[in-house]
A and B are shown apart, each in its own frame.
Chain A
Amino acid sequence: MRPLTDEETVAVFEKLSKYIGENIRLLIDRPDGIYCFRLNNERVYYCSEELMKRAANISRDNLVNLGTCFGKFTKTRKFRLHITALDFLAPYAKGFGVTAKSTTDCRRVDPMTIVCFHQADIGEYVRNEETLT
């Protein structure tokens, strides 16, 4: 178990910023204690300082998990998010939504029809309720 190097931190933050943007700051700088990112077995864990100190007593090979696993580094040193990170990403998420008709519906339409792919944030419906068709 060790802290991330600068390159690793950049990889992790760049990935996280795609989902929660500036809100990564809230993960690092928390009022309820010190939280940190740690790397063990190529996996990045997010945990409190206290928990990390306790986990340090367990040898690296035997340590299965600590805190929340955010993702892992591939052998080409790319960072991949894991589903376990969702708990932390969901509250800060930018709320991006994608809507489209289903593929079967799109296939059935006549050749002149234009199919739109709509990407919207979560507040769009509330803001533009009157004008939306």
Chain B
Amino acid sequence: MDSLVQSVLKSSAEKESKYKTTEVVKDIEVDIDEGHLLAVDPNPLDIKLLRSERDSYLKALARNDTQLLINKIWELPVERVEDVIVAKLPEPRTVVPREKPLPKEKPMTKWTQYAREKGINKRKKGRMVWDETAKEWKPRWGYKRAGDDTKDWLIEVPDTADPYEDQFAKRIKAKKERVAKNELQRLRNIARNMKGKVPGVGLTPTDTPDKDDVSRALHLARKSTASLGKFTQELPKEKPAKHVGKKRKFEPMIGNFNEEKKRALDILNKITNKQPTLNITQATNQEIYTEEDQKRIGKGGRNHLEGKAEANKTGTGRASQKEKAGVEKAMVKRDEHPSS
């Protein structure tokens, strides 16, 4: 009798050691989100155990938490589908951040913009339509579509049309033009929604075309020959085209060394001086202007110095000083006016 009890106890103990218990006790309850099959264990780690036998400790910990999760799953309503037991998971509670950023809003095309202003809504059309001639349902568009006018073997010539005109070719041409127009509108939509300038080719339509636009277009037109404008004849007294791409050009490797040295020294002087360079023509022009203005003021002419002074703010130090003096004079003069 005793031996029997012992053997039963022994076997049960063996079983216990082989299969670990499903009951796991934790100090703080493990937070389980069945929807995501997620268990978060807020219990602090046992530092001593973690240091001494890390792997086995972590494995045991993971096993226990997983056991808790599986216990929770078993509490859920269970059904049997084709000999497999399936649990129905509830809605997940934990909010998981998106992997990708939110999709950007698509830029509006001219049509969508217009439709929104007018309140035009998109209506869903069915994919298949009834074809009266074939007496069957056919796709609205694409291959084997209903009412395919390219498959017509005969086209009636309208009364108003030229009887010798090829009506088939006319249809093909019209279709091609519609496609081209659509493509152009697509590109225009892209260009409209692009930030910054979109490079144009040749003389692109501009709101306010100016002389430069024309000269640029002229230059491109001349270069657009098979020989890249090599044999295009120049007009007499023609000026070289402005605003045209510049070719990269380097100094010769073995050139005039004295000149090279001079160039380097010039650049060095510019760097070390750090003084603004005096634009002599601009400075003299300003000088002449101010002198003329002063003369005019002296004669009692109309005073329009202030506007000019503003326009010339970027002038050299000396000139602007003089200008200031001029402005002061002008102010004095203006004060005198009402009294006289």
Contact = CB atoms under 8 A, between A and B. Distances in A.
Contact of B253 (A1, A9, A17, A28): A1
Interface in A96-131: none
B228 interface: no
A72 to B, nearest CB: 18
A22 B250 contact: no
Contacts of B270: 10
Contact of A56 (B253, B260, B263, B265): B253
Contacts of A36: 257, 260-261
| B contact face: mostly helix, strand, loop, or mixed | helix
B261 A3 contact: no
B118 to A, nearest CB: 49
Nearest to A5: B250
Q: Which of B257, B264, B272 has the most CB of A within 10 A?
A: B264
Contact of B254 (A6, A10, A22, A56): A56
B250 A2 contact: yes
B251 interface: yes
Given A3-B260, A28-B261, A34-B261, A13 B268 contact: yes
B271 interface: yes
B203 interface: no
Interface size class of A (residues with CB under 8 A): 20 to 34
Interface string B262-306: 011101101110000000000000000000000000000000000
B268 A28 contact: yes
A95 B248 CA distance: 40
Given A29-B261, A34-B261, A36-B260, A3 B268 contact: no
Contact of A37 (B250, B252, B254, B264): B264
A10 B271 contact: yes
Interface in A20-56: 21-22, 24-25, 28-29, 34, 36-38, 49, 52-53, 56
Nearest to A24: B268
B161 to A, nearest CB: 64
Interface in B210-263: 250-255, 257, 260-261, 263
Contact of A13 (B250, B255, B267): B267
Contact of B271 (A14, A29, A56): A14
B265 A3 contact: no
Nearest to B258: A34
Contacts of A3: 250-253, 255, 260
Nearest to B261: A28
A53 B254 contact: yes
Contacts of B252: 3
B257 to A, nearest CB: 5
Nearest to A39: B250
A17 B251 contact: no
Contacts of A5: 250-251
B248 to A, nearest CB: 9
B264 A17 contact: no
Nearest to A22: B272
A22 B253 CA distance: 26
A10 B255 CA distance: 20
Contacts of A9: 263-264, 267
Given A2-B250, A3-B260, A56-B253, A17 B267 contact: no
A53 B252 CA distance: 12
Given A9-B263, A28-B261, A52-B253, 10 more contacts: A1-B253, A2-B250, A3-B252, A13-B268, A17-B271, A22-B272, A28-B268, A34-B261, A52-B254, A56-B253
| 9 nearest CB pairs, A to B | A3-B251, A2-B250, A34-B257, A28-B264, A9-B267, A13-B271, A2-B253, A24-B268, A13-B268
18 contacts: A1-B253, A2-B250, A3-B250, A3-B260, A5-B251, A6-B267, A9-B267, A10-B267, A13-B267, A17-B268, A17-B272, A25-B268, A28-B261, A34-B261, A37-B264, A38-B253, A52-B253, A52-B254
Interface of A: 1-3, 5-6, 9-10, 13-14, 17, 21-22, 24-25, 28-29, 34, 36-38, 49, 52-53, 56
